[in-house]
């Protein structure tokens, strides 16, 4: 089993901690690194995810968000199949990383459902702001954000820091819906649901200065 970070106990996250939270959804090798299975726009999406994470890690201690990495446990044959090399997290650590490959204080939580709140509900207060990046837009990203909004959290989705695969529409003569169209549809749907969809140009003030 090859992973870039060992799973931390969910108990290390404190529901009474009211700092903002950065959720990194499914930032895994099979979805974003492997040239045979990654999403089409993996490189720019991953670059933007790295930028958001760096901004979170670099924020002053009094405003630094809690950082939670969600790792999806896929079924056999899927790009994120549990226990395989492709299941591992993309290396996002820096020189300050500990033995888990992540800086102290960051946690990894495994999940089997698209909605990350199936494993996060007791770990994150409904009173905190959540910033979301990762994949896949119409599955984990959408369902997690809708669950967060439903429990009362304010949510920010970073445009350009999430993505997905194209869809082959079997019910529509096999026509292909491009990934960028699906991403745009998800952003519009989440905006209408109450999430804030922010451009990457606003990143410098995301964790500080607001």
Domains of the chain (ranges; CATH) run 17-205 (3.40.50.850)
Residues 6+ apart with CB under 8 A from 86: 28, 29, 30, 31, 34, 37, 79, 80
Partners of 156 in beta bridges: 131, 196
pLDDT in tens, 152-168: 999 999 999 999 999 88
pLDDT tens, residue by residue, 19-73: 999 999 999 999 999 999 999 999 999 999 999 999 999 999 999 999 999 999 9
What pLDDT was estimated at residue 33?
Answer: 96
| pLDDT of res. 99 | 42
Mean local confidence (pLDDT), 62-87: 96
Average pLDDT over residues 106-115: 96
pLDDT digits 0-9 by tens, 185-205: 999 999 999 999 999 999 999
What is the C-alpha to C-alpha distance for residues 89 and 50, in angstroms, rounded to an integer?
13
Q: What confidence category does residue 9 fall into, taking pLDDT thresholds of 50, 70 and 90?
A: very low
1 has pLDDT over 80: no
Q: Which residue has the tokens 């099979």?
A: 30
Average pLDDT over residues 93-121: 80
Span 110-124, average pLDDT:
96
Question: 169-176 long-range CB contacts below 8 Å, 24 or more apart?
Answer: none
Q: Which two tokens stand for residue 8?
A: 């931390």
Give the pLDDT score at 183: 98
Q: Give the rounded distance of the alpha carbon of 126 from its chain centre.
A: 18
pLDDT at 11 over 60: no
Compute the mean pLDDT over every residue in the chain, rounded to the nearest whole number: 89
d(CA 6, CA 89): 9
Per-residue pLDDT tens digits for 172-190: 677 899 999 999 999 999 9
């Amino acid at each position: 089993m090859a992973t870039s970070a060992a799973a931390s106990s969910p108990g290390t996250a404190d529901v009474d901690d009211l700092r903002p939270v950065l959720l990194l959804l499914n930032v895994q090798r099979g979805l974003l690194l492997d040239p045979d299975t990654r999403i089409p726009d993996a490189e720019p999406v991953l670059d933007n995810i790295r930028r958001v994470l760096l901004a979170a890690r670099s924020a002053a201690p009094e405003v630094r968000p809690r950082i939670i990495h969600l790792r999806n446990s896929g079924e056999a044959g899927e790009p994120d199949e549990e226990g395989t090399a492709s299941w591992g997290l993309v290396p996002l650590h820096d020189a300050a990383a500990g033995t888990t490959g992540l800086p102290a204080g960051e946690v990894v939580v495994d999940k089997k459902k698209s909605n990350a709140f199936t494993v996060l509900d007791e770990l994150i207060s409904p009173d905190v702001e959540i910033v979301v990046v990762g994949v896949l837009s119409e599955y984990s990203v959408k369902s997690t954000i809708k669950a967060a909004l439903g429990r009362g959290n304010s949510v920010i989705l970073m445009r350009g820091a999430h993505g997905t695969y194209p869809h082959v529409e079997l019910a529509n003569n096999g026509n292909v819906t491009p990934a960028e169209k699906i991403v745009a549809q998800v952003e519009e749907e989440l905006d209408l649901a109450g999430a804030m969809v922010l451009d990457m140009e606003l990143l410098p003030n995301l964790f500080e200065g607001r």
